[in-house]
Amino acid sequence: MTVTNDAAFTAMTNGEWYFDSEATVQQRNETRLALQKTDQILDNATRMATIQKLLGHTGSDFFIETGFEFSFGQNISVGDHFYANRNVLICDEGRVTIGDSCKFGPGVSLLTPYHPLAPTERATKKEISGAITIGDHVWLGANVTILPGVSLGNNVVVGAGSVVTKSYPDNVILVGNPARVLREIPAK
């Protein structure tokens, strides 16, 4: 089931404030069930083909270890030569674009949704999303978290356990919480 014609889904994907609709809740539930079944497939080629059908776009040479989770799938676009280790989470309420030749360590989280800061507004359950864009040749170490609205340039390396709260250009190594530039990577 695709919910692209649902007003809540459109607002969510476009980065506008939204409340979940019956259609978005049903789609999330169907996605969870599909992912649970996919994790039980032992043949890697069959498992990859099944995952690729759930995503918006995937390039060639695509491999993800078990424990991969996402909210909808159709908002995720992945380039060529992608590898993700175990237990990667992509909350794709907003669009997630991943470039070519990227590698994700275990426990990486890409989180597009966020909530109001004021507790009374947060209690209404409204949400908004911020798209995430990952450039080419990016390596995210184990347990890296990328927050809503972040764009990373090409050739970026993010050290294990880092929390990326803002966007960064090409050719940098990021570490820490919040992540900061450790050093630049010489262009070759």
Catalytic site residues? Answer: 115
Contact residues for 81 (Cβ-Cβ < 8 A; gap 6+): 59, 60, 61, 100, 101, 102
Question: What is the rounded CA–CA span in Å between residue 172 and residue 125?
Answer: 37
Going by the DSSP 8-state scheme, the letter that residue 86 receives in this structure is: S
Find the DSSP H helices in 67-144: 119-122
Question: What is the rounded CA–CA span in Å between residue 135 and residue 98?
Answer: 6
Distance from the Cα of residue 92 to its chain's centroid: 6
